[in-house]
Structure 1
């Protein structure tokens, strides 16, 4: 059975589109039950509607506080039947009550190599610091911001003097590969969390994707 997921997003939805495309190609064994978010005009909803995916656009400014918004969001997600919550550019902190409702079943992608440069400006902060490697991280979500056990990371070189747009284009391109890969591992029930360590069972197919000018670990598999 496909893994039933709900995607939470606040923006254009390029990572959500990557999931949709991989699913259409028969590479990602997920059932996207809901796309939800806090900005009704966000581009992600147009992408979801074009793919025939149910949407839930809740304007957070219409709620008296964060907790009441999260409770309504939890209700919609539970009604969708989703088993895993996938944050894809969702720009709101999740309350402890939300995370308790889906304990161990929320994942996120961050545009930096955690635990370095957490927060909303991870890519820009890494560039300003002058690092020689940056990248992105898929991780389980805990109450602490950008915390939780790491599933997969991708590193790209940073060129001295380059601008943020140039760096982020390379990072986003890898986000669209490692995030679907992490989802597929979860769909195949190949991930086990022991403390802070995420263990990946070997692939029955045994084929890896071709290498490129990046480092991804665990390695991408064929099709990703």
Structure 2
């Protein structure tokens, strides 16, 4: 299956997904990386991997519909069937949802609906929660409001720092997301699975 990755930053989740595809744990090919920050580190990774890129600066477009129209053209040109968001820090608009609604998923570093939006790990840390985790969900027009596909909790240890919690969350993301993407591309589009097992007590 031909997939596109949407990313805005360093691309750690993008790297784990591309690695899973290269190791044939993911029956998919990433044929395009879409990035809204032309200098983001993920673009250097895309070049290393030989993955085509569409990088754009939103401020150069009249509105969201204008740049999403360009994105859709790029997706169609590459034959993209589904979209995987991996650190894309921009709400999806009507133009993309019209073309790919129900065919986009995202990973978020909290147990949604808790701590949506930016800096979710920091939000959880500052709130002093004892359990946080990772959510994989469908993308809709809201801020991390799409139907949940899978969740995995992570217990916050007394010895944790913000840095060790961040590393723990990222480790869960990098393992869980490729697994769920593989399940997602192997099953009907609208099937939603919630998995709250497998909490990490270590």
Q: Match for residue 213 of structure 1?
A: 200
Residues 212/134 of structure 1: CA separation in 2 closer, same or farther (3 Å cut)? closer
Q: Please state how far the C-alpha of 1:144 moved relative to its aligned partner.
A: 1.7
Distance 1:97 1:40 in 2: 21
Cα distance change, pair 190–100 in 1 and its aligned pair in 2 (3 A)? closer
Query: How far off its partner does 1:36 sit?
Result: 1.0
Q: Please give the alpha-carbon distance, in whole angstroms, between the structure 2 residues aligned to 1:165 and 1:73.
A: 35
Higher RCO (Cα < 8 Å, 6 or more apart)? 2
Q: Deviations over 1:53-97 (max 9, x none)?
A: 111111222112222111111211121111111110001111122
TM-score (norm 2): 0.91
Give the match's secondary structure for 2:150: strand
How far 1:179 moved relative to its partner?
0.8
Whether 1:32 and 2:19 are equivalent positions in the alignment is no
Are the equivalent residues in 2 in contact too, given 1:130–1:160 (CA < 8 A)? no
RMSD: 2.0
Deviation of 1:160 after TM superposition, in Å, equals 4.3
Moved over 6 A (4+): none
1:48 equivalent to 2:59? Answer no
Aligned twin of 2:134 = 136
Q: Deviations over 1:18-53 (max 9, x none)?
A: 111111212111111101111111111111111111
Tell me if the contact between 2:58 and 2:67 (Cα under 8 Å) persists in the aligned partners.
Answer: yes
What secondary structure is seen at the aligned counterpart in 2 of 1:138?
A: strand
Q: Do 2:5 and 2:84's aligned partners in 1 also have CA atoms closer than 8 Å? A: yes
Number of residues of Structure 1 aligned to a counterpart in Structure 2: 199
Q: Please name the residue that 1:109 is paired with.
A: 107
Distance in 2 separating the partners of 1:190 and 1:133? 31
Cα 1:199–1:109 shift into 2, 3 Å: closer
Tell me the residue number matched to 2:98: 100
Unaligned runs of 5+ in 2: none
Which residue matches 1:205?
none
SS in 1 for 2:122: helix
The TM-score with structure 1 as length reference comes to: 0.82
Task: Show the counterpart of 1:207.
Answer: none
1:65 aligns with 2:70: no
